[in-house]
Amino acid sequence: MKKIRLFCLFLFLDLIGLQAQNWDINTLHRVNSWNGNFVRNYSTALSNSTAYVSLGVPVCLMAYAFIDKDNKRLSDAIYIGSSVAGAIIINTGLKSLVNRERPYERYPGRVHASAYESSSSFPSAHTAAAFSLATSLSFCYPKWYVIAPSTFWACSVGFSRMNKGVHYPSDVMAGAVIGAGSAVVNIYVNRWLNRWMFGVKQK
């Protein structure tokens, strides 16, 4: 009887895994099939913008802080930059650990890539960086005109990676969790940095 229960449990887990895998590739197939010129160009522009925006925002904030001698803005720049860096480090480690095939490699008949990547698929580094930037920016400047555009941009980056056929939805969702999580955890690291660098005590 015990063996039968174990067999049923493993069968149930296999079915759940199969359903999740089917959802992943079916959703990707639908998003990847949107191949109009506007959508493809939009996806390319968003994907290409990720590195420049994620690096450029904290660097510009830091430069402005040095010019204006603004310790608060400098603290924000360090927090935002280190949040993005933390997300990328975690993401890189997971890529090496999981080593998941890119969807266009595993399903060449269903996924048509408009770009090819040398790294593994899980999780999405572009999405992790974008969500880390959007989340940390929103914490530093909690205004609707910061939160809305940054969140829209981050979500668009995730969409673009699927539309280009280089990531599964699960890759993108994991990247979003890593990015947002890095920004949240880094709040506590940033408090220590502020005390060490500026003697600032935060609640």
**Confidence at residue 193, expressed as pLDDT on a 0 to 100 scale:** 62
Residue 22 domain flag: no
Residue 16 domain flag: no
CATH of the domain at 139: 1.20.144.10
**Confidence at residue 22, expressed as pLDDT on a 0 to 100 scale:** 85
Residue 12 domain flag: no
Residue 14 domain flag: no
Give the C-alpha separation, 188 to 8, whole Å: 45
CA 111 to each of CA 40, 71, 105: distance values in angstroms, whole numbers, following the listed order: 14, 48, 8
Residue 3 domain flag: no
Q: How much is the pTM? A: 0.85
**Confidence at residue 200, expressed as pLDDT on a 0 to 100 scale:** 54
- Structural domain of residue 53, as residue ranges? 38-198
User: Mean pLDDT, 10 residues at a time, over the chain (203 residues)?
Assistant: 38 37 89 92 94 94 90 89 95 94 92 89 96 96 95 96 96 97 88 61 50
Domain count, the chain: 1
Residue 116 domain flag: yes
Residue 18 domain flag: no
Residue 10 domain flag: no
Task: Specify the 3-state DSSP secondary structure of 68.
Answer: helix
